[in-house]
Structure 1
Amino acid sequence: MDDQDIKTVRAPRTIERSLARLFEARSHVWLIPDDDPDFQGQVQVVGNEPEARRLVLDCPDPVVLRHVLHAKRVRLQAVIDGLLTWFYSADLVTREEGGDCYLAVGYPEVMQRLQRRAAFRIDLPPDVPGTLAFCTPGRQAVTSGDVVNLSATGCAVSVVGDKDPDLKPGDEVPAARLKVGDGIDVRLEFIVRNRRPGVGKSMVYGLEFAALPPRDSQLIDREVMRLQRLRLTRG
């Protein structure tokens, strides 16, 4: 696997939302002792404690549990929003409730995942308006930009010079509204991935959607495919 295909996530809010989604989906997680990967097991996520910053899992079978608890650190691996995601932890403790065994895992400071490099991206046709309005943390004013292109995982937005919020790669914006034609009107969060000069005095931001609910992600994906079919029809 090429290192360029792996994305490192450090934003605490993004990590918290990803783990919350893991619990909401009642997903399964692989527990892989870093120093003894032959003794690994798959368990279900059964709880999430954001205030204590802990994810709660079913205990694996006794043999795997013994190796997990004695490992210097454990790799936890799962699929979140269709992406293979993993992190390492040395903070694992067992609990017993009503005769059942649970494993509580501390939230990580760093999470890694495969990038969606194959996401199809399309330029918006001139007759399909697209806007992204958002509130920059620490500012009351709402910034609005024109959507240049769109994919199921992100978009590029052009902002006119005097409206440029001067965001930097890695900045996270927790409140935004994306509207594209009559097909998309969703609220979302995003992470700034790049920033480059646009036409004239404009600035273009490359954005990645963060913690997008499956329903909204599917809605955007369907609209991207519809716009592609429209472009092919028009030639």
Structure 2
Amino acid sequence: MQRIEELHPNPPQSLMTDTQNDDELERCTLSGRREILFQLRSLIRQSERISVSFDEGRQSFLTVLIEVSEKQDELYFDIVGSEETNRAFLKSERCQFAGVVGGIRIQFTGRFPRITTLGGERVFAMALPKTLLRLQRRDAFRLRLPTSKPYFCRIHRGSPEEIALPVYDISVIGLGIQVAEKPALEPLEKLDNCRIDLRESGMLTVNLEICYVMATESRTNKSIWHIGCKFIKLSPLNEMLIQRFMARIETERRALSTR
């Protein structure tokens, strides 16, 4: 079972913003049981990380959904490494789940979590949500990049020496980095004049803010470190270059898949 180590009390908050009006939210809210189960199982199948906020948004952590039980009417998801956070979460009456799957933003509310065992492991459990918000927006789409020939983000951190980190995924909002060793980076840290090498699509100079740093356990029981970054005031030119880069990579993938 994948285990997540919490490194910061405030990973990315709710992914829904004030830019959606009431009509749009109502149109994108699912209430059918089959539809909700389908969306939850998609999150489970792809092992996507989900942000869970509680205590009126003052505390949050990252988790992965593990299983749904139609018979028990329950959703099971991973506990975190901090027992203090686990205890605080169990005292909450209400919590908010938010994540992104394939460019679709998912959000739903849970109530009265508890701890149980599943396959011999301690996990969180709660009743299945009655409604689920599924919202697709252009800026939510993240493109996962190839790991065999990675693209790199080069940072300075106040010294002339560059650190080259492989980019795991990218969007016009930010990028994700994945490394094998614990990085010397902290959440909320700002990184100026970072260079993203998109090869044929150009070299971008951007400012980044670290949103979260966390470790997950791979299927081979090795730690993989994930760093989530957001762009600070991304220029229109760089946004256009990223969009063109993403379109090119998708076109190349489609061409390969038809061979």
Structure index of larger Rg: 1
Compute the TM-score of the two structures, normalised by the length of structure 1. Answer: 0.45
Query: 1 or 2, which has the higher strand percentage?
Result: 1
Compute the TM-score of the two structures, normalised by the length of structure 2. Answer: 0.41
